[in-house]
Amino acid sequence: MRRMKTMRDMGEHAVIAALTANLNAAGDDCAVLPLDHEYDLVLTSDPLIQHVHFTAEAAPEQIGHKAVCRVLSDFAAMGAEPQYLLINLVAPPEQDFQTLEKIYAEFSRLWKLYGAEVVGGDLAQGPVLELHVFGVGRVPKGTALRRCGAKPGDCIYVTGPLGCAQKSGKQFTFEPRLEQGRALRESGAVTAMMDISDGLATDLRHILKASRVGADLDSSKIPILGTLEQALFDGEDFELLFTSPQAFDFPAIGNITGRTEELRLDGMPLNAKAFEHFRK
């Protein structure tokens, strides 16, 4: 008998690709659907799971911050405006209530800062603390920034320094780049955009695949926190990564090339290496 394939055998990206093959999932940070003559509807969801996305050392406010701001960062990546959040909270019976109160206080604080209001959700029992945040927002019709428009010759930009987001605690305190995302959309000059959650190298590959182009990064231009390797592979930076033929007041870290799906660093091919769920 052939052994069944497990999630560990396949890895996160292969499982997502196989499961969504029959669905209309574009693979952008958010799903974009027609809403009315003025706006498109923008939808996204992100899970935050104890022992995976945070540990017992994380403060309640940090957990709440990361859960909501990961979703807000997805909206920033499309140049979209978040409006409503629904949150499924999972907790074990022995979960102390005070921690949850502090998590929800952070939701209220973020609502005042970014305008995304928690309007619903659910509460259920489970083995560990989890927050599943679902976001609803909008973007002017046909203007959402996607991963598929990068062109050879475009410059590659990031909105801030990369690396060590887990070690430095930035993963729990980052500001979602909503303002920058909106301004970049309004510029009309951005060809592709996403946020950096899995690391520059992995996430840039998503743009290369969606746009059918290649890229050459210049290591001396990448704004680094820690080492170059950390900047390329750590992830959870939640800065925006975008391409444009125009000049912008952000670090330009390389260029889009015509060599489909080939990622180079200083002219040399860069091997795949990144955190991926289920694989070690």
Residues at the contact surface with a copy of itself, assessed by CB under 8 A? 4-10, 12, 15-16, 18-20, 22-25, 30-31, 33, 35-36, 41, 43-47, 49, 51-53, 83-84, 86-98, 100-101, 104, 107-108, 117-128, 130, 132, 134, 136, 277-278
In the complex with a copy of itself, the residue whose CB is nearer, 107 or 250, is: 107
In the complex with a copy of itself, the residue whose CB is nearer, 264 or 279, is: 279
User: For residue 77, is it left (φ>0), alpha (ψ between -120 and 50) or beta?
Assistant: alpha
Cβ 127 to a copy of itself shortest distance, Å: 5
Pick from 213, 214, 212, 193: nearest CA to 265: 214
DSSP labels, 14-36: HHHHHHTTTTT---SSSEEEE-S
Cβ 271 to a copy of itself shortest distance, Å: 23
In the complex with a copy of itself, the residue whose CB is nearer, 84 or 248, is: 84
Contact by Cβ (8 Å): 278, 7: yes
Cβ 234 to a copy of itself shortest distance, Å: 18
CA 245 to chain centre: 23
Q: How far apart are CA 190 and CA 145, in angstroms?
A: 7
Q: Coil, helix or strand for 119?
A: strand
DSSP labels, 173-207: HPPP-HHHHHHHHHHT---EEEE-SS-HHHHHHHH
- Type and span of the H or E element at 97: helix 97-114
Cβ 217 to a copy of itself shortest distance, Å: 27
Cβ 75 to a copy of itself shortest distance, Å: 13
In the complex with a copy of itself, the residue whose CB is nearer, 76 or 213, is: 76
Pull the structure tokens for residue 205.
């590959």
In the complex with a copy of itself, the residue whose CB is nearer, 100 or 231, is: 100
Cβ 248 to a copy of itself shortest distance, Å: 28
Beta bridge partners of residue 217, listed in sequence order: 254, 265
In the complex with a copy of itself, the residue whose CB is nearer, 22 or 220, is: 22
User: For residue 276, is it left (φ>0), alpha (ψ between -120 and 50) or beta?
Assistant: beta
Pick from 60, 23, 245: nearest CA to 154: 245
Cβ 2 to a copy of itself shortest distance, Å: 11
In the complex with a copy of itself, the residue whose CB is nearer, 20 or 260, is: 20
